Amino acid sequence: MKLPQPFQYQGSKRSLASIILQYLPIKMERFVEPFAGSAAISIACVAQNRASEYWLNDFNKPLAELLELIINQPKQLSDFYRQIWRDEFEDAIEHYYRVREDFNRTHDARLLLYLLARCVKGSVRYNSEGLFNQSPDNRRLGTRPETMQANILGVSMLMRGKSVVTSFDYRDVLASTRESDVVYMDPPYQGVCGDRDARYLSGVSFEEFVTALERLNTRGIRYVISYDGRLGTCSYGEPLPACLDLTLIELEAGRSSQATLLGRDDVTVESLYVSRSLAEKIGVQPRTHRSQTAEQMRLLGANVKYGKVS
C-alpha cells in the first residue's frame, strides 16, 4: 500500500516505516511524535489502525502549522498550493525566491509547503538567523497540484479527528506523556553538520536529551528512537549511553545517494533504540535489518556483530 505523503523531508523515515512499525505495539492508545517532521511514522501507523489517538509535535512552528492545515483544512491548502504553483512560468526560479522571501517575512505555513515541494531534495536548510535559505531544484517545478491534492486529502482522511498538532519543546511533550502512550522520536542527530544542524531552527543538547530519556525510563514510558548511525565505516552521532538500557536495532538502508554519485559502495545504517519497557512488552531481540543491496555487499566483506547496548 502506497501511503500519501504531501512533501519530501530530508531525514524522513518514510522508507523505513514498515520496519520501524515492527518495533511498535500492534495496538496503542496514543502514539506521540515529539519531532514529527513529515509525520511519516504516524501516517504509517494510522494506515494500519495502530492507535486511537496521535500527538504530532514539532518545534518548527510553521511546519507544525502545515501539518495542522493538511489534516484539518485539506481543500483550502490544496487550493492555495494550486494558485502558487507554476507550470509554465518563465522565471520559475525567481518565483521560488520571491515565495521564499515572503515565507521568511510572514512564516506562512502554506508557503512552506511550496518551498518543501520545490527545494533541492526536500532538504530543509535554515541560516543562523533562522531564515529558510535552501535553493530550488532547477530540474523540476515541484509536485503537481493534482498530485499534491491527492496526497493532502489522503493524509487528512487518515488522521482527521484522531490527531492533535502542537509546537512545543520536546521536553514539555515528554513530560506530558501518559503511561499508556508510545513515543517515537527522531531528533536531529549529533555530529551531522558540526555544532549546528542547519535542518533545524534549534539544536538538541545530547546531555539534556539523555536526561529526558532517563525520566521516561523512571516513569515506565515506552519509546523508540531513531538516533545516530553509520555511513560506510564513518559513524555519525554519539551513541546513546548504556545506562539507558536500550536495545539497539540496526537498519541498513542501502547505498546512500551521495555514495552513488561518487561511485562508492558506502551503505547507510540507521540506529533504532527500543526502550526496556517496550522491548520486554513485545519481546524484541537485537538484530540487523538489511536491504537486498546491503546484504549482497555484506557477503563480499567481513561479518559484523551487533547487539544490546552495553
> How do residues 153-176 score in pLDDT, each as one tens digit?
999 999 999 999 999 999 999 999
Q: Which helix (H) or strand (E) holds 151?
A: helix 145-159
Q: How confident is the model at residue 229 (pLDDT cuts 50, 70, 90)?
A: confident
Check residues 220 and 198 and name the one with the higher pLDDT: 220
Q: How confident is the model at residue 288 (pLDDT cuts 50, 70, 90)?
A: confident
- Topology of domain 1-204 in CATH is Adenine-specific Methyltransferase; domain 2 (1.10.1020)
Strands 28-33 and 181-185: parallel
Question: With the CA atoms of 119, 121, 123 and 127 taken in that order, what torsion angle do they form, in degrees rounded to the nearest 10?
Answer: -50
Which residues, in sequence order, are bridge partners of residue 165?
A: 56
Report residue 173 CA to chain centroid gap.
Answer: 17
User: Measuring CA to CA, which residue among 284, 280, 278 is closest to residue 221?
Assistant: 278
pLDDT of the residue at 195: 44
Check residues 124 and 119 and name the one with the higher pLDDT: 119
Coil, helix or strand at residue 274: strand
Q: What distance in Å separates the CA atoms of residue 214 and residue 145, rounded to the nearest whole number?
A: 45
**Range among 57-66, 282-291, 295-304 rated most confident:** 57-66
Q: How confident is the model at residue 285 (pLDDT cuts 50, 70, 90)?
A: confident
Coil, helix or strand at residue 263: coil
The proportion of the chain whose per-residue pLDDT surpasses 70, expressed as a percent, equals 80
> Where exactly does CATH 1.10.1020.10 map onto the chain?
1-204
pLDDT of the residue at 196: 47
Check residues 238 and 195 and name the one with the higher pLDDT: 238
Q: Which helix (H) or strand (E) holds 218?
A: helix 206-219
Q: What distance in Å separates the CA atoms of residue 236 and residue 238, rounded to the nearest whole number?
A: 7
**Residue pair 240/273 in contact by the 8 Å Cβ criterion:** yes
Q: What distance in Å separates the CA atoms of residue 17 and residue 299, rounded to the nearest whole number?
A: 25
User: Measuring CA to CA, which residue among 280, 204, 206 is closest to residue 247?
Assistant: 280
